[in-house]
Structure 1
Amino acid sequence: MSVTDTGTVSWNSKAFDEIVSNDAERPVLFTNARVLTMDPLIGTLPGADVLLVGALIVGVGPGIVTAAQDDNAIVVDCTGMTVVPAVVDTVALIGGRGRRSEYVATLTPGNAGDLLVVPDALAPDVASAQITLLSRPEQVRALVAAGRPVLWAGTDAPGRPSAPEAGIPAAQDMTGSPRVGVWIDKNDFLHQELTADGRYDETRGGRPHAYQGRYWIDGTRIDYLDDLGFWAFGEFQGEELHHAGYTMRLG
């Protein structure tokens, strides 16, 4: 490692440049790390590798680096580093999951490439690594989400996503949207009208205005803020709107 003129630690800078400009979806291999997978089958692996292809983890364990040249992988040397899941399942941390398949966030092949790289001294366990991220982010070597860097060598990665602004957003103008109209469930119990001014009005079992409020659509997700103060959500799946156990179609 070296220190730049601004005092920022330079860590695997060549590999980082290759990852940022990785338009060819080359694999990315984090190698020579202590890996706390949080997977009860795989466990903790000393001197191990984590291989990402796109947004997914495709391999975890020792010896993967031997295939790195064959696959034209970008290699990130993590000597002296610990790799942990970037998304923490606190229930799993205290052993509260009954089955391996129920673990929400582990460094398991097939799971999302969300990982955190921290010096060994600051990461005796997953909780300590997370505390380092929250309290001393300048000590973080890498924070990766879905295979893309968010932090690198303690600084923001270029082009990293930014969090949505806090607070309730302005009403959406849904004029002309194909999702405006009355959505009716298959039993004709729930009628949910989405209006062009970003409001909804529900009739339930013939009871008009059972719930009313504002809504926002982001991709296939719809969020509701009821005038009573509670939040709810739904999801558009093809021609259907799924919400609170109901499956609706435009009437």
Structure 2
Amino acid sequence: MGITDTTSWNAEALAEILADDRGRPVLFTNARILTMDPLIGTLTGADLLFVGSLLVGVGPGIITAAADDGAIVVDCTGLTITPAVVDTIALADGRAHRSAYVATLAPGNTTDFAVVPDALATDVASAVAVVMTSPEQVRALVAAGRPVLWAGTDVPGRVTAAEARIPAAGDLTGSPRVGVWIDRNDFLRQELTADGRYDETRGGHPHAYQGRYWIDGDRVDYLDDLGFWAYGEFRGDELHHAGYVMKLG
């Protein structure tokens, strides 16, 4: 199948989405939607409505309120909308309950989806393959409500992934997270130093693990000198790591 020229596809709608600073709803309409939700299933001639990163509606008839709500409308005639983040366990029928499904196009979930031609999307797996191997055929790729690809090309100013490399250690002098973190039973002691190094004492054994760490928001990533990676999460005044809950000593 040859490459289709899609450069003019809903160009005005894209401009409105990128220029919007009022949180207007966005409606992708008249699409076939593979929701991957076992209750909703596959819809035809349907609409997908979202506000920012939140998916708020899916199904036929939502278009009737588009003008009243001031929605930005994207016509998807002849196109299929699928989750952009795929729950491969669900695809293999490995989820026993609907509540265990992730990344479906059900209201209340994150607005992550792809729009591809019907002929290239017999199912979710084939649609995702188009995103990975033929991005020029992708009409839209939306991540948390913001377009990443549109009409087969990168959206101007799109966020890109950080360079794949191990970052240099930062100077954490003065950080309130530097110090010795101790779990409730005093089994684990993890010292985070200002030069980006950590040193763990476990069960009274000093230097059980040592290595480098990086803090990104409330997440901390560890690269041990033995070569393995691990992570922790700051929750208020606690550091959660590998099942342990620690506080500054």
Category of TM-score, reference length = shorter chain: over 0.9
Aligned to 2:43: 45
Distance 1:156 1:187 in 2: 51
d(CA) in 2 for partners of 1:77, 1:193: 55
SS of match in other structure, 1:18 = helix
What residue is the counterpart of 2:180 in the other structure? 182
Residue 55 of structure 1 is aligned with which of 53, 56, 77?
A: 53
Q: Does the 8 Å CA contact 2:191/2:200 hold for their aligned counterparts?
A: yes
**Whole-angstrom distance in 2 between the partners of 1:159 and 1:209:** 45
Q: What residue is the counterpart of 1:87 in the other structure?
A: 85
Residue matched to 1:223: 221
Q: Secondary structure at the match of 1:20?
A: helix
SS of the residue 2:127 aligns to: helix
Q: 1:117 and 1:70 mapped to 2: Cα distance? A: 25
Supply the distance in 2 between the matched residues of 1:232 and 1:162 (Cα, whole angstroms).
24
Residue 4 of structure 1 corresponds to none
Given the alignment, which residue of 167, 170, 175 partners 2:168?
A: 170
How many residue pairs get matched? 245
8 Å Cα contact 2:190/2:198 also seen in 1:
yes
Letter in 1 for 2:221: D
Match of 2:136 among 135, 138, 147: 138
Shift of residue 62, structure 1, vs aligned partner: 0.2
> For structure 1, which segment, 130-139 or 157-166, has the greater mean C-alpha deviation from structure 2 after superposition?
157-166
Measured after TM superposition, the shift of residue 161 of structure 1 is 1.1
Question: Moved runs in structure 1, 4+ residues, more than 6 A?
Answer: none
Taking structure 2 as the reference length, what is the TM-score of the superposition? 0.97
Tell me which amino acid in the other structure corresponds to 2:190.
Q
Look up the equivalent residue of 1:133 and give its one-letter code: V
For 2:243 and 2:157, how far apart are their aligned partners in 1?
Answer: 38
Deviation at 1:109, TM superposition (A): 0.3
Asked if residue 245 in structure 1 is aligned to residue 249 in structure 2, the reply is: no
Matches of 2:6 and 2:214, distance apart in 1: 41
Matched, 1:17 2:3: no
Equivalent residue for 1:64, pick from 59, 62, 65: 62
Instruction: Name the structure 2 match of 1:127.
Output: 125
Contact (CA 8 Å) 2:172, 2:178: kept in 1 or not?
yes
Residue range with higher mean Cα deviation, 236-245 or 157-166: 157-166
Q: Is the 8 A contact 2:223 2:229 kept in 1?
A: yes
User: Quick one: structure 1 residues 103 and 194, their matched pair in 2 at CA, closer, same or farther if it must change by over 3 Å?
Assistant: same
| CA–CA distance in structure 2, aligned partners of residues 158 and 186 of structure 1 | 49
CA contact (8 A) 2:37 2:98 kept: yes
- 2:6/2:137 contact within 8 Å kept: no
What do the CA deviations read for 1:28-72 (whole angstroms, capped 9, x no partner)?
Answer: 000000000000000000000010011010000000011111111
1:74 alignment partner in structure 2: 72
| Alignment-mate amino acid for residue 134 of structure 1 | M
Measured in 1, the distance between the counterparts of 2:61 and 2:168 equals 52
| Equivalent position amino acid for 1:156 in 2 | D
Partner of 1:209: 207
2:6 and 2:139 in contact (8 A); partners too: no
Determine the C-alpha separation between the residues in 1 that align with 2:150 and 2:186: 53
What is the deviation of 1:167? 2.1
* Residue range with higher mean Cα deviation, 228-237 or 155-164: 155-164
Q: Could you say which residue in structure 2 is the equivalent of 1:199? A: 197
Question: In the alignment, residue 220 of structure 2 is paired with which amino acid?
Answer: I
Secondary structure of the 2:29 match is strand
CA apart distance, 1:8: 5.7
Q: Which residue does 1:97 correspond to in 2?
A: 95
Percent identity over paired residues: 76
| Equivalence for 2:153 | 155
Q: Identify unmatched segments of 5+ residues in structure 2.
A: none
* Structure-2 separation of matches of 1:108 and 1:245: 31
- Secondary structure in structure 1 of the residue aligned to 2:164: coil
